[in-house]
Amino acid sequence: MSISPPTLPKLSVLIVDDSRVVRKLVAEILLEAPEIETCVEAEDGRRVLEMCERVDFDVIVLDLTMPELDGLATLELLKMNGNYPPVVVFSACAERGAQATIRALLAGASDYVTKPVSDDLDAARAQMRRELLPRVVALGLDNAMGQTSVRARSSERRERLGASGAINPTGQLRTFDIITVGASTGGPNALVQFLSALPRPLSVPVVVVQHLPSTFTPAFVANLARHTGLNVHEAYAGAELDAADVWLAPGGRHLMIRSEKSGNELAFSDQPPENACRPAVDVLFRSVAACYGERAVGILLTGMGLDGLNGSQILARSGGTILAQDHASSVVWGMPGAVVDAGLASYIGNPTELAKWLRSCLNNKPHKIPQPS
């Protein structure tokens, strides 16, 4: 007897922008998706708060520059009022807009899409279909369905790992010479939590690929440094990997590590995108596997898609250790969920738990994996 696939819920989206033209255009594009049933419009943040008290929306598409109550203030008030749906920031890509978007992501927004800059309506529509539509649908379905079966698989995997009591079969403590991290949707918040919980001073370098455009990278580096108190830098070619530093891949270029006579250093590649991403986590993890092998740990945090799966497979085969964020704390469990489903993750937890596990290893203390709560 065949089993029918589960019926997908119909989504309701709230579009917030002070421009009526933009609201209508966004609604036109979103309603092309069969998963989206209704699009409701609001012209400012105060209207959003009123509407969210009466209606349960699945996703909010939020402009940041609005009169009366701007997007950032709206987001903060939504957080204060309790549970709120995933928020996709729909903002300009100028330097000021990039800084505001990073602040919004760190304040709890799930993802962002830059507004089209072309005056060509057909080009603008194409960009929104390519970038905004899939994000809204994915976040809305994840929010509406809860993905109970995915959570159950994650829980079962955690229980099996927890029962073993050690990261490796022999139970011997493993130490690392480098921490590498990949993240995408929801990553800015997860990275702040993870980095803030690492030991001080850092005894190994941390290299991060977070999917962001190049215009956003400087603002994100500055905000990460301010929120975590760590030495955070935008990566540059030839940089030596200092144990006390965190290095963030710039948008638009693949970041790698290569071995030189003087030691390992950062390098770039302008090869085509992988998994529709540049920088790609896979590229970084493959280079880490070649340079560090079993002395490396690769961590997959919240993110949409499969970037990091191939690189994690190669890193695991070289003896490296893979950790993954759990579903409960992820905005989207695509990237970490893929490595869990592939059986690659040696430990699954929220960002703070992942850092605490690493802290035990880096401090050279005996470590038992905590049982899942």
CA distance 85 to 265: 41
The burial class, CB within 10 Å (0-12 / 13-18 / 19+), for 131 is middle
According to DSSP, the residues that pair with 179 across neighbouring strands are 206, 297
Is 120 in the active site? no
Q: Which of 12, 91, 184, 330 is catalytic?
A: 184
Q: Which of 211, 254, 327, 367 is catalytic?
A: 211
Which among 328, 329, 336, 271 has a CA at the least distance from the CA of 298?
Answer: 336
Is 184 in the active site? yes
CA distance 109 to 65: 15
CB 98 within 8 A of CB 219: yes
Q: Which of 63, 245, 307, 326 is catalytic?
A: 307
Residues 6+ apart with CB under 8 A from 353: 370
Residues 6+ apart with CB under 8 A from 276: 305
Query: Can you read off the two tokens belonging to residue 83?
Result: 């549970």
> So which residues are the catalytic ones?
184, 211, 307
